[in-house]
Structure 1
Amino acid sequence: MSEIGYVRGDATAPQGKGVKLITHVCNDRGGWGKGFVLALSRRWPEPEAAYRRWHRERAGNDFGLGAVQYVQVGPYLWVANMIGQRGTRTGGKGVPVRYDAIDRALASVAERAAGLDASVHMPRIGCGLAGGEWSVVEPLIAERLLTRGIAVTVYDIDGSDGPDGS
């Protein structure tokens, strides 16, 4: 089994050759406006538009914790909007991250990445605004992706203070 590659850089500009799948965690409330999603929106309008439509039409689709929406943003580049956090704020019920939802979403990402013969690229998902711990998320990535031989690169922004580059 290979290891996760850690690099300094921008996850919206993934390194390497071949098909790439950028994964990130979204909330289950339809909010898009802080954290990594802002970097995505600066580069491509499609992931935000698709996520907002997915949420708006949720009565007739699979929108919810653990679901994943795939948005093609280039000939060899996809974005995976993974629903892995409940709401957007830390409060009486703890942090927004939902590890079981991230795990289910990563299982879907593994299937899609294998089908596309794609590498997977991400910030430290679930560990910024969602409040998660990388020591919990990293083994999920290893189990769902690395065991299947899928290359994974995690990006940390230069000069960042937070684990997700924020």
Structure 2
Amino acid sequence: MSEITYVRGDATAPSVKGVRLIAHVCNDIGGWGKGFVLALSRRWPEPQAVYRAWHRDRAHNDFGLGATQFVQVEKYVWVANLIGQRGVLPQGLGFARPGRTPMGSKGVPVRYESIDTGLAHVATKAAELGASVHMPRIGCGLAGGDWSRVEPLIMRRLVERGVAVTVYDHGE
């Protein structure tokens, strides 16, 4: 069986050939301004603009936990805005360690079930496009998730379906 490929680098700049689908986790309150989304916005304005419009019109669309929006940003590059986070951490709370409960909080925003649902949408779109999937360690930054819980979801939803997945650890 295939595995996830781990590399040090920038998930917004996959160096493989073919169609690339960049997946990341968004919150369910319309917030866009910290974490991986900043790298996306520096490269392309469309994912943020489309996400904010999707949130604004949420009474008339599928915006919510588990929903995934696909935005084409280049001829062979798509971005998946995956709603896998309930709210955001309160201002000033920090993590004791990455992937652990934030200090002073009773929980974290990550919603594993929603990430799982969103990854199923990503798998379907990747198959439709013949795309490889690229991502940071989704749900494990500002969402406060634990990679040991996210990685099996990626394995089951993507890798076991034959989708090539690369996870990027940002290098300094």
Q: TM-score surpassing 0.5?
A: yes
**Which whole-Å CA distance do the structure 2 matches of 1:93 and 1:69 have between them?**
30
**Which whole-Å CA distance do the structure 2 matches of 1:158 and 1:93 have between them?**
31
1:98-139 residue CA offsets vs partner (Å, 9 max, x unmatched): 000000000000000001000000000000000000000000
Q: Percent identity?
A: 75
TM-score normalized by the length of structure 1: 0.94
Pick from 111, 115, 120: which aligns with 2:124?
A: 111
**Which whole-Å CA distance do the structure 1 matches of 2:105 and 2:135 have between them?**
29
Unaligned runs of 5+ in 1: 160-166
Deviating more after overlay: 28-37 vs 85-94: 85-94
**Which whole-Å CA distance do the structure 2 matches of 1:108 and 1:132 have between them?**
20
The one-letter code of the counterpart of 1:68 is T
TM-score normalized by the length of structure 2: 0.90
Determine helix, strand or coil for the equivalent of 1:72.
strand
Number of positions where the alignment pairs a residue of Structure 1 with one of Structure 2? 159
Determine helix, strand or coil for the equivalent of 1:63.
coil
**Which whole-Å CA distance do the structure 2 matches of 1:119 and 1:158 have between them?**
21
What aligned pairs does 1:1-166 form with structure 2 within 5 A after superposition?
Answer: 1-89=1-89, 93-159=106-172
Give the superposition deviation at 1:15: 1.9
Determine helix, strand or coil for the equivalent of 1:136.
helix
Runs ≥4 in structure 1, deviation > 3 angstroms? 90-93
Unaligned runs of 5+ in 2: 91-103
Determine helix, strand or coil for the equivalent of 1:79.
strand
Determine helix, strand or coil for the equivalent of 2:119.
helix
Give the superposition deviation at 1:92: 5.2
**Which whole-Å CA distance do the structure 2 matches of 1:15 and 1:85 have between them?**
28
**Cα RMSD over matched residues?**
1.0
The one-letter code of the counterpart of 2:108 is V
**Which whole-Å CA distance do the structure 1 matches of 2:37 and 2:17 have between them?**
24
